[in-house]
């Protein structure tokens, strides 16, 4: 259980660093809210569920929110969409590891 929250914290931290590097702090207030939602949604999904499909939907919604905020903002944020890539990769890796553990348990390898 705690492992999921460490992964969620890592995904959130990496996403926040990428958003900061993309000059998200210089954007307008409403754009900051869109960015915060786009960054937090995938990370929270990693912490709250193990369902791979739900995680994929959360990452897709996060990417859309970040692209919309990038398109609407007056500030140039060229790498902002990368902020949603990190939770996606972490979520996929976690899903892969848990599938490997389940397969090993079923085969009596654990």
Considering the chain, what is the average pLDDT of its residues?
84
Regarding pTM above 0.75, the answer is yes
Overall average pLDDT of the 5-28 stretch: 88
Residue-level pLDDT at 65: 92
User: Is the predicted pLDDT of residue 37 greater than 90, yes or no?
Assistant: yes
pLDDT band at 48 (very low <50, low <70, confident <90, very high): confident
Alpha helices by DSSP H, listed for 1-110, are 2-21, 29-48, 52-72, 85-106
C-alpha gyration radius of the chain: 16
Residues 32-51 as b or e (16 or more Cβ within 10 Å = b): bebbeebbbbbbebbeeeee
Measured between alpha carbons, how far is 10 from 59 in angstroms, rounded to an integer?
15
Q: Per-residue pLDDT averaged across 74-90, rounded?
A: 83
Whether pLDDT at 26 is above 60: yes
Q: Which of 39-43, 69-73, 76-80, 84-88 has the lowest mean pLDDT?
A: 84-88
- pLDDT grade for 110, boundaries at 50, 70 and 90: low
Q: In whole angstroms, what is the distance from residue 87 CA to residue 94 CA?
A: 10
Among 71, 70, 66, which Cα is nearest to 83's? 66
Residue labelled with tokens 């398109």 = 71
Please report the pLDDT score of residue 78 as a whole number.
Answer: 82
């Amino acid at each position: 259980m705690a492992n999921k929250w460490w992964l969620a914290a890592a995904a959130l931290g990496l996403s926040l660093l990428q958003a900061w590097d993309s000059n998200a702090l210089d954007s307008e207030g409403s754009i900051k809210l869109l960015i915060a939602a786009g960054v937090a949604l995938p990370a929270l999904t990693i912490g709250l569920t193990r369902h791979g499909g739900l995680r994929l939907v959360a990452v897709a919604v996060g990417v859309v929110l970040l692209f919309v905020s990038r398109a609407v903002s007056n500030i140039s944020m060229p790498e902002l969409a990368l902020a949603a890539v990190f939770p996606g990769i972490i979520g996929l890796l976690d899903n892969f590891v848990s599938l490997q553990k389940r397969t090993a348990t079923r085969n009596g390898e654990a």
